[in-house]
Structures are given as structure tokens and as C-alpha cells.
Amino acid sequence: MSPGNRLAIVLLVPALPLLAGCQRPPAVAFTVAPARAEGQPDRLAVTMRIQGAPSKGLELRGFATTGVLKIEDISAAGADGAPIAAATTIENASFNNRTLDIPRIVLHGPLPPTLVVRYTVRTGTREGDSHMGFTGRCHGYFGKEFGFTVGRDLFLLPDPAERLRDLSVTFDLPQGWEARAPWAKAGDAFRPGVGGTLAAEHLVSAAVGFGRFHERSFDLGGTRCRLAFEADIPAEQEERAAKGLEAAARYVHGLFGRDLGPEYLVVVAPKAPTGDEIAGEGWGTGQGGTLAPLTADRLHTFAMSLIEAYVRHAPYRTEVARPEEYWLVDGVKQLYSWRAVAAAGLIPEEEVTRSLAVGYLLSIGVLGVEPDLEKIYSSAGAHRIETEARAPFVLAHLDHELRGGSGGKETLDALLPTVFGRSRAPSFWSIVPQVHPDFRAEFRTRYVQGREIIPLGRAYTLAPTQPQPDPPAGPVTRRLTLLFTGDTQGYLENCGCKVNQSGGVARRSTALAALRKGDPQALLLDVGSAFVRPEKQLELDFLTRQEQALYLGTLDMMRYQAAAVGTTELTFGLDYFREQTRGLSVPFLAANIRNDGKPVAPATLVLRSNGVRVGLIGVFEPPYGKTATALFEENTQSLAFDDPIDTLKRVVPSLRTKADLVVAIGRLTPYTIRTVAASVPGLDAVISSEYRAPAKIDGKEEHIHPEDQPGFVGRMLVAYSSLTNYGLSSVRLGLDAQGRIASAEFGDHWLYEDTPDDPRVRETLNRFYDRVGRLAAAQEAVPPLFADDPARRSGDYVGAAKCAECHAAEMAQWRRTKHASAYKTLLDRHRHFQPKCVVCHVVGFGTPHGYRLGMPEALLANVQCEVCHGPGAAHASSPAKDNIRREVPAKVCLECHTPDHSDHFVYEERLPKVKHDYFEQ
């Protein structure tokens, strides 16, 4: 090298940092400990020692929303203890048309080079809201038993975080506790980062456990997979979870045929003591969250996160190079995560493709879905349906076509190591085998680019049911009517505020009376899931239990003669089922459900109608995967579900000796029903609550319906309770001289608003609302609105009349809106003692100074000024602009105008109608 060049390089080296426009990023050492203050058992105290802070000032940024990363008591000081002002602000980021509020702390310069920032974080935010109910998930937990969090719910970082290289974390935990985190350890400190890079990303995405742990480990090739079980997880749960996690992990590792880093840590937490599942997160070095007891859904989450380590997350991912092939990342993740659950034995293999086929079929009719998968990353929007329903099924279909076209020699699985074996993926289509000429181009154009819909009729659908039995029966000699409901989910009646107001027990009773006039001996059956479903009522509070008991009581009032044990009967556990059905007249049947070897309910029952002895069998096929809730899986782990087909083969012959007609009621999928029809010859009919399956509706390949239709499969009759809580169904059977079903007339009876209430049931409901709604326990079961707004929950309300003293024009305008007559809606529908309804039709229900049941209507009834503008006592006594809320953000309205209660509410359209410059014509 010439001296000139040498001189140039000498000049360049010191200039490079300046050229890059940066100085060395600060180093941050975190110390995390339980908060010491009294009454803060759920708080973690975080100390950040920042070295090399820029003199001009520093901003600390969070990586979770303010609803989750709840920063309290923040303070900053120099190394000498001199305080530094820390201003808390909120950064607004946009995600899928939603605004995310992210905490940002500003430390204005001049700053000393070494800073100490202290703050506490309140863990355990529950997802959902107190009015509509919680989803059953929470973000982090810290208590006396154990703790779990993800990095983003705990840490702030100097902005821009991407440049940070030197981060360390030390934990100061109670005696005997340890921390489990996917970071390398140096002495007492953990050091996030891989190969000297990605420190901030590694910190933020980490799953961290605190407490006592049992560790198990196994090798996935060159990657050591560590499972850290929180020590209080019962041994049998740990054993089951360890088996399932290892099976799924081995399946995933086998698919990609390569290793991740040297170690992959899985922090296995139990549920939080509140009953909530703790949300986890994953990255290339590990993951964690509530994984015990292990359910199919939790194993799916685990498998998906592990697959993401190969296909999405730094630092071990393979990057798909071509933007038009990005959809592969989603497709592979979704398809193979479910296949991993099947490989671990938690769901049947065929259930994966079936479930994806139904999802794909449903996605066809959804507005706004991008048909071309190659465009989902270049067009605006969330594309959840495309990535979660369409992409995996397109891949499943590709697999199907490859196998079919090659006689089983070619598979999608075999392509994965080639595509995802290195850091950069080759072109996918270049390696897809041409199982017939132009296969690749045709498949891509038709199904990936969405020019055509995948021909479900050829491979994924059931043969349609037929209108007549095969072989035909003899001439009809007797008639029999079966009336049935199913999947009614404890639905008493609509709330009175939705556009769709179908259903309700009072209307059902009226419809039944009319149908019984046609056949007084008609049999009335419920085929299962008459209990409330957990998505609606996660917690069995006082009011929910009372409503459930009332609902079951109305079954007796309507003279139900038998019911099957279904999914929701077991979702809250066997004890709850027994508690609720004690003393009921209607018998619940279950032939294949055992607890400690004993049946949980009678298997069969013989009823008589029009001289026909009808033998009923309760049978239950448990839901799997997406159709099963975690609560159901957890609460049924002690139960044994015998194979429904084997059960029917065993029970039907003996029941036949006592009955002229044998009918199975309960939950059987249309797929199982086809097998039953072929293998249980003595069974005359099945009435099932589960009807979902892609089925050809008239035998034509292109006429596919996502639900099976009633009719005959061979000689067996099939009927479904598909009206759920909106109606009831009937089938009028014609029997031949031998008792075989010769004909069937199916009827759907919707319970629209033109169906009057049965006065007797109406009166029962009204008395219930009056009696139970007044009880303190029922009112306490309905929390006040605005859970995150302490001022609204503790404020002093004065009522609209007081506001009108100064705001007469606004009052006049308000009186013309529907808000001013909101309470009358309750009176008209007799819901004025139903706390779940009252809370949205008055001011401050459930708060110390708000509306109370029975209060004079004029004072705080209706949706008054203070619902929008907040408690007004201070403003009324001393009017000022700064002691009343002039602006009304959308979330105030959306607290009550939810899809469940206000199903056609569009905020932007409705807002002008309540503004004070608007007058209804």
C-alpha cells in the first residue's frame, strides 16, 4: 500500500463514526426485584444504570402499550444522586387502524454520562374489559408463588434501541427463587444478544420466569432444548406437558432438518392464580407462557412459536428472498403448527386438513379478503384471514396435489429442508416438483394468485345426505315428531338492544306450544351445549350461575324429555354440571363419558310417542383444536371419552331390544356420522349439535356448503340443531310397518320478534330480573364501566338537571337524542333490574356516587351528560374549562356500543347524531 493510501485510511478510520453520524450507544445494566412497598405484591421494581448517556438528552421507550406496560413511580438521578427530571409522555403508533399508546420517558439534557433510572411495573393486566368480560388471558404475573413476564412488558430502553450493544440484567429475587431467561449468563448477570448483536430485540422478546423450577432437557440435533417447569405444576401435568412439548419440538426440528442456536429455553408457567392464561412470547432462543396443563391450543401456540424461530425470527431464520413468496412464511407456520399438535397426539391428523378446509371455505365469502396471496404483503390491511386461513390451506392442497400426482413420492414436507435450510431461501417454485407438465405454473396462478377457488369438492368434502333412505323403506304406517334444540348456550333472551333480536326461551315456549298442537305427543329433546359458553361468561359469577339455573329451569317448564351432555355442560367442570342439574326433571344422557371409571350420566332412555318406543342414547365426540376452548380441555382432563363409534356399537344392540326406534343425540361430527352410518346398523337416527364440514349440497363439485345438511346417509337419518339459540328444529318421521324410517320432513322454526313471548315464561323471567337483579351479589357481578378511569369510577355525579342550569341549549339538543330515553328502553323490555343492562343505560352504575337500582329515575337514569363528559360535581360547583372533559374519545362510546350490544354501530356515523350542534329532524 502506498504511503498516500495509508494516510487516507488513517484519516478515514477516526472519521467513520462521524460519517455514520453517531456516537457509541449507551450501555444499560438492569436490576429487577420485587417492589418493596406495602400493598404492591404484583409490582416489579426496575433499576436502569445507564452509562454513556448523551449529554444533550435521552428518551426511553417502551415496547408494549400503556395498558400493559404500566410504569409507575419513575425517577432519574445522576451517579451522584442529583435528581434529573423525567417527563412521561405517550407515543402514538398505528397498527391495523388502531392507535397504540406506547410509553416514552424524556430526560432532558444536559445529562451526566452515568444515570440511574428507577421505575416500578404493575404486572398482570387482564385482557378484555370488565363490562364485556375478560378473554381469559393476562399479560405477566408476579405473586408469592411465582412470576412470569415477557421483556416487552417490563423494560424501557434508550431510543434508538436497535443500536444498543451492551445490555445486562440482574435479578434480585426472594430467597430460594431463580430467574429463567433465554440469555447467556456472565457471573450473576444475564447478557441479552446473540453474537454481539440484537441485544435489544433479544431483551424485549424474551420470556422470563421467576421462582422455583424443575428442568428437563433433550437434544434437537445440536440444539439443547430446556424445559423449565414452574415447581408447583403438578407432576402429572408436568409429565403430560413434557411429553407433548418434546413430541411437537422433534416433529418441527425434523421438518426443517437443521438446528437453531446452542440452546432453546421454554419457560413453562401455570395459569395465574386469577385463572387467566399468561400470554407468552417467543424468539429464536426460546419462548414461554402458560403451557401447563397442556392443551391442544397451548401446544399449537408453542409449535407456532418454535416454527417462527426457523422462518421468522432473528437470528436463526431463513429469509424468503422474493416478496411474492412471503406468504409461505405464514402458510408454513399455520399448517405445520397444527400438524405438530397432531404429531404429538393431541388432535387427529385428519382434523387439521378438515379444519383448514372449513376455514378456507368460510374465507371465500368474507368481504375484503385479498384473493392473491402474493399480494398480501404489498397491500394495506391486516390480512389475518389470508395468513391464517387461506395460506395454510393452499399449502395443504399443494401437499395433497404433490402426493396425488406422484403416487406419494413427492410431498411438501420434503421441500421444507431445501427452502428453510439456509439463511436465504431459494425460489420456492423452482424446487416444487413438476408432477405433471405445467403443474407449478398452474397451481401458482390458480390457487396462490387466487384466480380459482380450490376445488374442495374433489378431495375435502363429504358426500351429500340424501332426501330418502337407501335402501328405501316400506310404506309409512305411523308418524312421529321430534322437536329439538342444541348449542343454545344458556341463552335466556336477547338484551333488547341489538339489530338481530331472534331467540329467547319465552318465544321458544310459544313456538313449542304451536308445534305440539300439530302433534301433542311430539318428543322434545336438547342435543347438548345448553350451558353458557365460556367466551361469553368466563367467570362463573353469582349472576351467571343464577341465570344458568333459570335457563335450565325453563327447560323443565317447556317439558324437555331428554338432553345430551355436550361441550358446555363440561366446560366448567363436572362438579358445576352436577350442581346445576341437581333436581331438574329433564334427564341428561351420556353413554361414553366416564369419571374415575363411572359414567357421568345415564347412557340411555326409552320414551313413548304415538305408540312408538323411542330409545335415546347420549353420545359425545369431544371438540379438538380450534373448536375446543382451553377451559374445556383443562376441566375435562380427568374425564375419559370412550370412542363414540365403539360405544354406539356396544349400546345400540341392547337398546334395540327395548325400543322400536333408536336415536343417538349429542355431539358427533358429520365425518363421524358417516362412519357411524356404515358401522352401526341398528341405529336409526343421529341428531347432532355439530354440523360443520364442507359438504356437497347436491352432489355437484362446485356446490359446496360449510355445513352438512339434514337427510339420510344410507338408511340412517341425520339431523342437526343448527339454529342454535335463534330457533328450534323439528323432523316429522314416517315409519314403515317394521319401524324403519321411511320419510322425514325437516322444519326450521325461527324465533323472530314476531313470535310472542309465552306469558308464563315471560313472567318467570321478569320475576327473576326483579328478584335477582336487586341482590347485592348480582349487582357486584357487573363491574362499573371505564375500568381504566379512576376519576369516573370514584367521581361525584350531579345529573343532567344540574348541567342544564348553564347549558340549556345542549340540554335541549340532548333531549332529542336516543341517549335521553335510554332508560325507557329498559322499562319497555323489563330489564330495569337487570344489572348487565342497567350499567349502560344510566350514569355511573356501580360507582359510589352513581345510579343505584330503584333510585328516582329523573336523577341519574338515561345516558346523561356525565357519561360522556365525566363526573361533573366539581365543575358544577366551580365552573371552569379544566374541570370537565370537553373532548369525548371514541373509546368512551365503544365501552357500551360493542358489537354484542350494538351490532350495527359505526362510530363515525353515529357521532354527529349526539354532537351538540346536531338536531334530529
* CB distance 720 to 693 below 8 Å: no
Q: How far is the CB of 21 from other proteins (least distance, A)?
A: 12
Q: What character string, x for contact with other proteins (CB under 8 A) and - otherwise, covers 500-519?
A: x-x-----------------
808 Cβ contact list (under 8 Å, min separation 6)? none
Nearest to 310 by CA among 290, 288, 328: 328
For residue 834 the three cell numbers come to: 337487570
**Conformation bin of residue 36: beta by default, left when phi > 0, alpha when psi is -120 to 50:** alpha
Piece of the chain touching other proteins by CB under 8 A; list 376-384, 445-453, 603-611, 800-808 = 376-384
- The kind and range of the H/E element at 43 are strand 43-51
Based on the shown chain and the rule CB under 8 A, indicate whether residue 368 belongs to the binding site for other proteins.
yes
* CB distance 150 to 140 below 8 Å: yes
Cα–Cα distance measured from residue 666 to residue 586, given in angstroms and rounded to the nearest whole number: 15
Based on the shown chain and the rule CB under 8 A, indicate whether residue 122 belongs to the binding site for other proteins.
no
* CB distance 268 to 228 below 8 Å: yes
Based on the shown chain and the rule CB under 8 A, indicate whether residue 690 belongs to the binding site for other proteins.
no
Q: Is the peptide bond before 694 cis (omega within 30 degrees of 0)?
A: no
Please give the angle made by the CA atoms of 571, 575 and 578, to the nearest 5 degrees. Answer: 100
* CB distance 130 to 840 below 8 Å: no
Question: What is the DSSP secondary-structure string of 839-869?
Answer: TTTBSSTTSTTS--TTS-HHHHBSS-HHHHH
Based on the shown chain and the rule CB under 8 A, indicate whether residue 712 belongs to the binding site for other proteins.
no
Site for other proteins in 872-911 (CB under 8 A): 894, 898-900, 903-904
Piece of the chain touching other proteins by CB under 8 A; list 365-373, 504-512, 776-784, 791-799 = 365-373
Q: How far is the CB of 173 from other proteins (least distance, A)?
A: 25
Based on the shown chain and the rule CB under 8 A, indicate whether residue 12 belongs to the binding site for other proteins.
yes
Nearer CB in complex with other proteins: 354/533: 533
Binding footprint of other proteins, residue count (CB under 8 A): 83
Q: How far is the CB of 836 from other proteins (least distance, A)?
A: 15
Please give the angle made by the CA atoms of 741, 744 and 746, to the nearest 5 degrees. Answer: 150
Q: How far is the CB of 12 from other proteins (least distance, A)?
A: 5
Based on the shown chain and the rule CB under 8 A, indicate whether residue 446 belongs to the binding site for other proteins.
no
Q: Which of 283, 393, 420, 560 binds other proteins (CB under 8 A)?
A: 283
* CB distance 673 to 690 below 8 Å: no
Cα–Cα distance measured from residue 728 to residue 508, given in angstroms and rounded to the nearest whole number: 7
**In 423-542, beta strands by DSSP E:** 424-425, 478-485, 523-526
Based on the shown chain and the rule CB under 8 A, indicate whether residue 64 belongs to the binding site for other proteins.
yes
Piece of the chain touching other proteins by CB under 8 A; list 220-228, 497-505, 734-742, 877-885 = 497-505
Q: What character string, x for contact with other proteins (CB under 8 A) and - otherwise, covers 608-627?
A: ------------------x-
Site for other proteins in 69-108 (CB under 8 A): 93-98, 100, 102
Site for other proteins in 197-226 (CB under 8 A): 200-201, 204-205
Piece of the chain touching other proteins by CB under 8 A; list 79-87, 367-375, 394-402, 878-886 = 367-375
For residue 435 the three cell numbers come to: 408432477
Piece of the chain touching other proteins by CB under 8 A; list 7-15, 234-242, 592-600, 603-611 = 7-15
Nearest to 412 by CA among 441, 383, 392: 392
Q: How far is the CB of 200 from other proteins (least distance, A)?
A: 6
Q: Which of 144, 185, 243, 384 binds other proteins (CB under 8 A)?
A: 384
Based on the shown chain and the rule CB under 8 A, indicate whether residue 543 belongs to the binding site for other proteins.
no
Q: Which of 1, 5, 14, 920 binds other proteins (CB under 8 A)?
A: 5
Q: Which of 31, 135, 411, 610 binds other proteins (CB under 8 A)?
A: 135
Q: How far is the CB of 126 from other proteins (least distance, A)?
A: 12
Site for other proteins in 754-783 (CB under 8 A): none
887 Cβ contact list (under 8 Å, min separation 6)? none
Return the SS3 of 617: strand
For residue 241 the three cell numbers come to: 406437558
443 Cβ contact list (under 8 Å, min separation 6)? 398, 401, 432
Based on the shown chain and the rule CB under 8 A, indicate whether residue 263 belongs to the binding site for other proteins.
no
Nearer CB in complex with other proteins: 295/722: 722
User: In the 8-state DSSP scheme, what is residue 466?
Assistant: B
Q: Which of 45, 307, 320, 655 binds other proteins (CB under 8 A)?
A: 320
Site for other proteins in 793-852 (CB under 8 A): none
Based on the shown chain and the rule CB under 8 A, indicate whether residue 788 belongs to the binding site for other proteins.
no
